[in-house]
Structure 1
Amino acid sequence: MPQYVRDVMTPTVTSVRPDASLVEAAQLMRAKDIGGVFVELDGELLGVLTDRDVTLRAVADGVDPLTVSCHLVCTPNPVTIGPDEEIAEAVALMRQHEVRRLPVVRAGCPVGVVSMGDLERVPG
């Protein structure tokens, strides 16, 4: 039975530059059928941008998604977890911070993401 984040995480990282437009990010999310992307610069995780962020922090406020950058709308300094942490720690962090995704980082660099969906598939 899996017990570590590395056993259940999605081991791919989909990122955008901080200056990418919301349209670019949304098109990338649609093309990859994902609900969020990392906002990253030179390997450093600056934030997480979700489809919900785009909707509630941009579209609902009437901003132009072609001219607004991802860095202005993303959730900055996201809570992260390491790949060698136990799954129970990921669950606790998600509950405590009320998030559905955690970036998985090793030595400060994103190496994957663990989502509520990943954790729901864990037997037990």
Structure 2
Amino acid sequence: MTQHVRDIMTSQLVTVEPQASVTAVAQKMRDEDIGIVLVIEGDDLRGVVSDRDLVVRALAEGGDPDEKTVASACSDDLVTITPDEDLDRAVELMREHSIRRLPVVEEGHAVGIVSIGDLAIERDARSALGDISAARPNQ
């Protein structure tokens, strides 16, 4: 049976505005125990920022992270998927663009996110990635 992105996506999104400081975003990631935040302007998805983006694009450049905005660290060349697309399409997009998380967009608005871990749990929960992804986070 074909499954759709909506069947496994996370719909509890954590978002920030482009003007948010790098420090505030890092604290939000820590508090929510997540590795990616969606950058939203108004109702529109403008980018995504991962924990790695914060390190490579913001902290490694130096300067005051309280003064740097997330807009300077986020990826704005977005690859997205709709909730009604097949999981095979999500896998294809992730492979093609070498990404681990894929924002789910409906009518221009972010409604979810699907990760490589979500796909691993769904496709092969006994695989190393599926097993790791299903485990409770370290505190």
Q: TM-score, normalised by structure 2?
A: 0.85
**May I ask how many residue pairs the two structures share in their alignment?**
124
Whether the aligned pair in 1 keeps the contact of 2:16 and 2:40 (CA below 8 Å) is yes
Larger Rg: 2
- Find the residue that maps to 2:123 and give its secondary structure: coil
Matched, 1:31 2:31: yes
Identity %: 48
Query: What's 2:78 paired with?
Result: 78
For 2:91 and 2:46, the matched residues in 1 are separated by: 22
Equivalent position amino acid for 2:71 in 1? H
For structure 2, the residue ranges without an aligned partner over 5 or more in a row are 125-139
Per-residue CA deviations over 1:30-79 (Å, capped at 9, x if unaligned) read 11100010110111000000000001111111132110111111000310
Per-residue CA deviations over 1:90-122 (Å, capped at 9, x if unaligned) read 000001111110000100000010000100011
Larger displacement relative to structure 2 (71-80 or 111-120): 71-80
Equivalent position amino acid for 1:7 in 2? D
Query: What's 1:8 paired with?
Result: 8
1:1-124 matched pairs, under 5 angstroms: 3-123=3-123
For structure 1, the residue ranges without an aligned partner over 5 or more in a row are none
For 1:98 and 1:123, the matched residues in 2 are separated by: 19
Which of the two has greater strand per residue?
Answer: 1
- Find the residue that maps to 2:96 and give its secondary structure: helix
